[in-house]
Chain A
Amino acid sequence: MSDHAVASATEPRVQADLACTRLSKQFGAFTAVDQVSFSIPRGAFFSILGPSGCGKTTLLRMLAGFQQPDSGDILIKGRSVLHTPPNKRPVNMVFQHLALFPNMSVAENIAYGLKRNGVPKRQHAALIDEVLTKVHLPGYGKKRIDQLSGGQKQRVAIARCLVLKPAVLLLDEPLGALDLKLREQMKIELKRLQQEFNTTFVYITHDQSEALVMSDQVAVMNHGRFEQVGTPQELYYQPKTAFVASFVGDSNQFAATVQAQTDQTVTTVTKRGVQLQCYSELALPPGAPVTLFIRPEVIQVGVCKPDPVPDNCLAATVLRILFDGARSQIQVQTAEGAVLLAALPQTADFQALTPGRSVYLSWQARQGLCFAATSPQHPGAVP
């Protein structure tokens, strides 16, 4: 869906809180952001997911006004903000290291934006109390910043922005500094806050789990471009490009060549000579090199051959068991020598599985994806 939706979304629409058209930014010879267009409907949680150096921070800083785009336009509530300095833009930002003012108390931090925006002083106390209650920190106004825990600082940083009721809240990997447990809690908390304030969130991260758990829409970014924009489910189950397929979720990847294609089912042969049925929306000529992606959790593991035989069925030997509680996997090797990871079923049959045992792996053709192995695809290159 995404490519098309993005293209049409470039038309300024009333319900879009934030829209960008053909936004580009160069640093010398390096293109940080390359012709990026998107629009975010009001009240959405929109994530930009990409590896470090993909241009997502530059994109966010352009939205906040700390960097000027070389070309393109940024529309907030349908109005171009290119000529609006950062302090006049109706966007607020939660910085990567939060940037809470250390010389001010929690309340003073929150009041800072109110003062700058000319909110009458007598309203401050009520507004601050209200927002602190909403972020579950009632009565914390008098605390100094260095008295807060990491999670509390997060909440103050968010409260400081949300009290200004911005059209869009930008979040620059704010969970990066937290430990794992706290990060899991904050994911849920952020989602709750977004729903409660009903504000558009633009969240950038390199952590796919953060993006998938919280977002309504995720844009996967690579080399300054959006590879795909879609719901977390779409990205996970219907990746449009090899990069998205490999970046979002885990996959067994194989280099292979196309033998034949009927409708969207492609018959391929891997380098080791294993024949596999895969799914592709695109027409792939016989002999074309492709990359196959099979997720560990779609692979059915059985001790005996399944009946009826699914599209793909491989006999394999267990190499080792990678125990990780509910996320346990097994590493297996086929007769041809191909090594795969498969999710370990949590049933009694497999409790006693030991290395060396024979198992059968099976999955449907629709559950394996293949992409042409030539140069990485861009949304624009897709016909």
Chain B
Amino acid sequence: MPEFRPRIVAFVCNWCTYAGADLTGTSRMKYSPQVSIIRFPCTGRIDFMLLLKAFANGADGIIVSGCHPNDCHYSSGNFHARRRWIVFRALLDFLGIDVRRIQFSWVSAAEGAKWARLVNETAERIHGLGPFTDYHRLRGMGVE
């Protein structure tokens, strides 16, 4: 059996976490290459249906990260994301998704080290949970 390499998609905001991840790079801190970033203007822009679509298309884990509460570049987008996450989280059990597969966090533009730590911890946890296959069968059933 080939070694399991989790696919983790990170949905991040442009102003805090994307810049924080840039700082991780500028500081040459190392982290797991299993995470790739998709940039959004704000976590408030993230439609949580996209998370399901990512799972349906082969993601094993997801990170959603933006500015800390009160620090949103657009005042309140991260609060909308947080509210959406609270509602969405309650649905995960019904959807058959282990809540540990989604990491919701705040990483500021100054927290390069936190981003590296967050990625590594998430990658390790997803590795422990194993591949997420339940949703692949949903492809072609309307979820995508």
To the question of whether A and B form a pair in one complex, the answer is no
Q: Which residues of B contact A (CB under 8 A)?
A: none
- Which residues of A are interface residues toward B (Cβ below 8 A)? none
